[in-house]
Structure 1
């Protein structure tokens, strides 16, 4: 066996070390998602879901492309591992995997627009097991 040192990436998750602890994020995965959805140049939004969203199945509503929807929501589920700030809304949109409607697809794409404005966000695992969501720019000490 050979020691390759501290990991920098693991399963697409970037691992940064600083004096504050270990920081994980999925910036490249998020950028790839933005390119794939055509939203790389979109205007970022402040929240991943509207207040009083009212997402539900509506009888007779226009259906979305089920394959596209399931693929997009699956990518959101993977992103939520290092982005607990989207966990609630990802759980919400995943409820409609069996019969997605246009409103559900719009909500899933809204998450992508939110991610556009929060590319550097991830989770810092600090001392004493404390965790918090933060941006790369606020790490204390050199990130390696």
Structure 2
């Protein structure tokens, strides 16, 4: 459970009551949760997903890829291969799910 708020006294009261009714541990300040890293500074709290993206690139074998404006060959003629191998359905679904999750936290890539 992540507890957050602006009033320290209320957070302390909530934690005290939760700890008395449930078996819980205080793990300190949030650093990493659901693929999101949390950094604190004097300017505020910042979240980013560098580790999540790097793990995703490593899983797909694209860790050394170079960014391009159009990630495919321009004017490429697509054709159907009649004797081609089928892709791994579960791996594809897992990758699409991770990309959808990433697009929820990065609106700048949601359209792409």
Q: Which runs of 4+ in 1 moved over 6 A?
A: none
Deviation at 1:75, TM superposition (A): 0.8
User: Between Structure 1 and Structure 2, how many residues are aligned?
Assistant: 80
Is 1:65 aligned with 2:65? no
Quick one: distance in 1 between partners of 2:48 and 2:69? 19
Partner of 1:21: 44
**Counterparts of 1:44 and 1:11 in 2: how far apart (Å)?**
26
TM-score by length of 2: 0.55
Does residue 76 of structure 2 align to residue 75 of structure 1?
Answer: no
Whole-angstrom CA distance in 2 between matches of 1:66 and 1:85? 29
Aligned twin of 1:31: 54
In the alignment, is the contact (CA less than 8 A) between 1:24 and 1:82 conserved in 2?
Answer: no
Rg (Cα) greater in structure: 2
RMSD: 2.8
Long gaps (5+) in structure 1? 51-57, 90-144
Q: For residues 100 and 93 of structure 2, what CA distance do their matches in structure 1 show?
A: 10
CA contact (8 A) 1:13 1:25 kept: yes
TM-score w.r.t. structure 1 length?
0.45
Following the alignment from structure 2 to structure 1, what is the Cα–Cα distance between the partners of residues 42 and 107? 22
Gaps of 5+ in 2: 1-18, 20-24, 73-77
> Match for 1:10 among 3, 9, 33?
33
SS at match of 1:17: strand
Q: Structure 1 or 2: larger strand share?
A: 1
Residue deviations 1:82-119 (CA, integer Å, cap 9, x gap): 22211112xxxxxxxxxxxxxxxxxxxxxxxxxxxxxx
